C-alpha cells in the first residue's frame, strides 16, 4: 500500500515537472515576443494592411479595350456595323478607319488595344458558301488577356449572328401573312375534296385533289423560304414523342402523305367513306398550319433569333464581392506564413545560439522542447489570428456565414500544421538565413499551388500533390466552406490537415531528438 502511494506520488511529481518544463518555453517565447512591440505590430498590422490595400485596390472591373474598327471602302455593311458596334460591352470604340494597315500601325504603337477588320462583302461571302470573317488583331502576351480577347471575339460574332437571325425572323413574320393566304386556298380545296368524296363524286374529287396539290406546292415553297428561321426552333421538338404536337413542316409532310394516298382514287368506285376521312384529316392538318402561322405573326423576332437564355441562381444565398472570395485564402496564406516563419527560426536559433548544448545537459527532452515551443507559438499565432479575423470581419465587412466554432477549429488546425512544417524546416536548416529561405519557398509555393489565385482543378493531378503538401491549401478550402458557403467543416479535409500536422511534428521530433543526442 505504501509502495503504491509512493509510486502515485512519484507519478504526480513527474507529471508536474513535465508540465513545468513544457511551460518554460511558453513563458519564454511569449515574453520574448511581447518585449518586441515592433515585431508584434508587424505581425498583427502587417497582414491586415496587406488585406486592406488589396481590398481597396482590387476593383475586379471588366477591362475595356480601346478598339478601332476597320471598314474597308465599299463595304456593304458599314452602316449596320457602325450602328451596332457601340452597343458591345468591353469595347471602347476609338475610331473607324478604312485602312487595315493604319489600324495595325496604331495597334503597334499601343494607341489602341484591339483592331477589328470587317469583311468587304459579307453577303457575297455567305452566298458563295463561305463564312463572312471578321479579323481581331491584338498584342496581348498574357494568356488570360488573350483569353479575354477571344471571349470578346466570340461575344462579338455571336451578337452579329443574332442580329442577322433577328432580321431573318422579322422577314419570316412579314411573309407569314402572304403564306397564310396560300393556306386558305389549300384549305378551301381540301374542304371541297372532302365534300365531293362524301357525296361519292369521284371525278370531282380527283379535280379537287389536283388543285390541292398545286396549292401545296406553292405553300411548301413559301414556307421554306419565309420560315427558315423558325425551322431551328421547330427542330428542337422531340419527334420520337408521340404526344408532342407535330411541327409545321411535319403537318405539311402529313398532308403530302395523305394526298399521295388519295391519288390512287378510282373514280368508278361507288362509295368513298375511307377517302373522305383522309380528306378530313388533310383539312385538320391545314387548319393546324393556319393556326401556327397566326402564332408566328405574334412572336418576338428576338426570341426566335435567340430562343434560349440562361439564368444563373446562386444557392449560397449571399452576394460575394471579389474581396470576400479572396479573404479566406489570404487569411490562410498569411497565418501559414507567420507560423512557418516563427517555427522555422525556433530550433535553428537555439542551435546557433548554443542553447541546445544546455538542453542536452538539462533534464529536458526533445519532445518537451518541441511541445513547449508548439504550445507557445500556437497561443501566440492564435491571438494574432483572432485579431486579424476581427479586423477583417469588422474592417472589411467580410461575411461569416458558418459557425465561429468551426472557424476556430480550422484556424487552430491550420496553425498547428503550419508550425509543424516550420519546425520540420528548422531542424533541417543550418542557419537563420537558410530557415528564412525555406519559409519563403513555402510562401511562394503557396501562392501558386494553394488554390489562392489559381483554382486547384486548373493544376495537373501530379502538381496537385504539391498543393496538398501545403497547409494553406487545406486552410483555404476549409475557410471558404465555413466563411463563404456557411457549410460545416469538411471532416475529411480537416482530418487530412491534422494528420499531416502530426506527421510533420513527428518528423521534427525525430530530427530534434537526433540533434539533442550526444555527438
Partner 1 sequence: MEEATLGTGNGKVIQVRDLVKQFGSVTALDHISLDIPQGAIFGFIGPSGCGKTTTVRCMIGNYRPTEGVVKVFGRTPDSFYLSDKKRIGYMPQLFILYPELSVWDNLNFAASIYGYPLKRKARLQELLDLVELSGHEKKLVRDISGGMQRRLSLATTLIHDPELIFLDEPTAGIDPVLRRKFWDYFRRLRDEGHTLFVTTQYVGEAAYCDYVGVMAHGALLMVETPEDLRYKAMGGDIVQFHASSALNSKMITDLRKLPFVSGELAFLDSQSVQLIVEDASTAIPRLLDWGEDEGIEIEAINQHVPPFDDVFVKIMEDEKAGQKRVEISE
Q: Which is nearer to partner 1, 223 or 348 (CB)?
A: 348
Least distance between partner 1 and beta carbon 37 (Å): 12
Residues in a beta bridge with 116: 69, 136
Please answer whether residues 287 and 184 qualify as being in contact, where contact means their C-beta atoms are separated by less than 8 angstroms.
no
Least distance between partner 1 and beta carbon 18 (Å): 8
Please answer whether residues 39 and 384 qualify as being in contact, where contact means their C-beta atoms are separated by less than 8 angstroms.
no
Q: Which is nearer to partner 1, 15 or 386 (CB)?
A: 15
Q: Which is nearer to partner 1, 332 or 516 (CB)?
A: 516
Least distance between partner 1 and beta carbon 388 (Å): 24
Least distance between partner 1 and beta carbon 32 (Å): 5
Q: Which is nearer to partner 1, 35 or 110 (CB)?
A: 35
Least distance between partner 1 and beta carbon 509 (Å): 17
How far is 275 from 264, CA to CA, in rounded Å? Answer: 10
Q: Which is nearer to partner 1, 27 or 162 (CB)?
A: 27
Query: Residue 117: which H helix or E strand, with range?
Result: strand 114-117
Query: Residue 97: which H helix or E strand, with range?
Result: strand 91-97
Residue 22, C-alpha cell as written in the block: 513544457
How far is 351 from 331, CA to CA, in rounded Å? Answer: 31
Query: Residue 136: which H helix or E strand, with range?
Result: strand 135-138
Q: Which is nearer to partner 1, 21 or 246 (CB)?
A: 21
Least distance between partner 1 and beta carbon 507 (Å): 23
> Which residue bears the cell 519557398?
441
How far is 519 from 517, CA to CA, in rounded Å? Answer: 6
Binding site for partner 1 (CB under 8 A): 16-18, 20-21, 23-24, 27-28, 31-32, 35-36, 353-355, 357-365, 517-519
Please answer whether residues 125 and 119 qualify as being in contact, where contact means their C-beta atoms are separated by less than 8 angstroms.
yes
How far is 430 from 347, CA to CA, in rounded Å? Answer: 10
Q: Which is nearer to partner 1, 31 or 41 (CB)?
A: 31
Residue 503, C-alpha cell as written in the block: 506527421
Q: Which is nearer to partner 1, 16 or 92 (CB)?
A: 16
> Which residue bears the cell 394526298?
259
How far is 231 from 223, CA to CA, in rounded Å? Answer: 10
Instruction: Please state the separation of Cα 141 from the chain's center in Å.
Output: 23
Query: Residue 252: which H helix or E strand, with range?
Result: helix 248-262
Please answer whether residues 410 and 475 qualify as being in contact, where contact means their C-beta atoms are separated by less than 8 angstroms.
yes
Least distance between partner 1 and beta carbon 360 (Å): 5
Q: Which is nearer to partner 1, 34 or 454 (CB)?
A: 34
Q: DSSP for 389-413?
A: HHIIIIIS-----S-HHHHHHHHHH
Least distance between partner 1 and beta carbon 516 (Å): 9
Q: What is the CA radius of gyration of the chain?
A: 39
> Which residue bears the cell 527532452?
365
Residue 163, C-alpha cell as written in the block: 442580329
Least distance between partner 1 and beta carbon 369 (Å): 9
Q: Which is nearer to partner 1, 16 or 224 (CB)?
A: 16
Least distance between partner 1 and beta carbon 519 (Å): 6
Half-sphere exposure of 364 (CA within 13 A, CB side): 21
Amino acid at each position: 500500500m505504501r509502495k503504491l502511494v509512493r509510486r502515485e506520488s512519484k507519478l504526480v511529481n513527474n507529471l508536474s515537472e513535465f508540465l513545468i518544463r513544457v511551460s518554460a518555453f511558453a513563458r519564454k517565447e511569449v515574453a520574448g515576443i511581447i518585449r518586441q512591440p515592433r515585431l508584434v505590430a508587424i505581425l498583427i498590422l502587417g497582414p491586415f494592411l496587406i488585406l486592406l490595400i488589396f481590398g481597396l485596390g482590387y476593383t475586379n472591373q471588366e477591362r475595356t479595350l480601346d478598339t478601332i474598327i476597320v471598314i474597308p471602302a465599299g463595304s456593304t455593311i458599314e452602316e449596320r456595323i457602325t450602328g451596332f458596334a457601340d452597343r458591345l460591352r468591353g469595347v471602347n470604340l476609338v475610331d473607324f478607319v478604312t485602312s487595315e494597315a493604319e489600324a495595325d500601325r496604331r495597334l503597334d504603337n499601343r494607341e489602341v488595344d484591339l483592331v477589328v477588320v470587317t469583311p468587304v462583302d459579307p453577303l457575297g461571302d455567305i452566298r458563295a458558301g463561305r463564312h463572312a470573317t471578321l479579323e481581331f488583331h491584338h498584342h496581348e502576351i498574357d494568356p488570360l488577356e488573350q483569353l479575354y480577347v477571344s471571349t470578346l471575339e466570340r461575344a462579338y460574332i455571336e451578337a452579329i449572328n443574332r442580329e442577322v437571325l433577328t432580321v431573318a425572323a422579322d422577314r419570316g413574320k412579314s411573309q407569314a401573312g402572304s403564306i397564310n393566304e396560300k393556306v386558305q386556298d389549300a384549305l378551301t380545296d381540301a374542304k371541297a375534296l372532302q365534300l365531293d368524296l362524301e357525296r361519292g363524286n369521284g371525278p370531282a374529287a380527283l379535280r379537287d385533289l389536283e388543285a390541292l396539290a398545286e396549292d401545296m406546292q406553292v405553300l411548301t415553297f413559301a414556307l421554306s423560304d419565309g420560315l427558315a428561321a423558325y425551322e431551328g426552333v421547330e427542330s428542337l421538338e422531340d419527334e420520337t414523342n408521340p404526344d408532342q404536337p407535330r411541327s409545321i413542316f411535319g403537318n405539311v409532310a402529313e398532308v403530302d402523305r395523305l394526298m399521295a394516298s388519295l391519288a390512287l382514287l378510282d373514280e368508278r368506285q361507288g362509295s368513298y367513306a375511307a377517302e373522305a376521312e383522309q380528306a378530313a384529316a388533310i383539312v385538320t392538318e391545314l387548319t393546324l398550319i393556319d393556326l401556327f402561322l397566326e402564332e408566328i405573326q405574334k412572336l418576338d423576332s428576338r426570341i426566335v433569333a435567340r430562343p434560349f437564355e440562361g439564368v444563373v441562381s446562386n444557392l449560397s444565398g449571399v452576394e460575394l464581392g471579389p474581396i470576400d472570395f479572396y479573404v479566406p485564402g489570404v487569411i490562410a496564406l498569411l497565418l501559414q506564413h507567420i507560423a512557418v516563419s516563427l517555427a522555422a527560426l525556433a530550433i535553428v536559433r537555439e542551435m546557433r545560439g548554443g542553447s541546445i548544448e544546455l538542453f542536452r545537459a538539462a533534464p529536458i527532452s526533445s519532445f518537451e522542447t518541441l511541445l513547449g515551443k508548439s504550445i507557445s507559438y500556437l497561443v501566440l499565432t492564435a491571438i494574432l489570428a483572432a485579431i486579424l479575423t476581427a479586423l477583417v470581419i469588422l474592417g472589411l465587412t467580410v461575411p461569416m456565414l458558418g459557425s465561429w466554432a468551426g472557424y476556430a477549429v480550422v484556424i487552430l488546425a491550420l496553425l498547428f500544421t503550419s508550425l509543424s512544417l516550420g519546425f520540420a524546416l528548422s531542424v533541417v536548416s543550418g542557419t537563420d538565413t537558410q530557415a528564412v529561405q525555406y519559409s519563403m519557398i513555402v510562401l511562394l509555393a503557396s501562392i501558386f499551388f494553394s488554390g489562392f489565385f489559381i483554382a486547384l482543378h486548373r493544376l495537373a493531378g501530379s502538381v496537385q500533390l504539391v498543393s496538398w503538401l501545403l497547409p494553406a491549401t487545406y486552410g483555404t478550402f476549409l475557410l471558404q466552406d465555413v466563411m463563404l458557403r456557411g457549410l460545416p467543416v469538411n471532416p475529411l479535409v480537416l482530418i487530412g490537415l491534422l494528420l499531416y500536422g502530426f506527421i510533420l511534428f513527428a518528423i521534427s521530433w525525430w530530427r530534434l531528438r537526433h540533434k539533442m543526442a550526444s555527438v
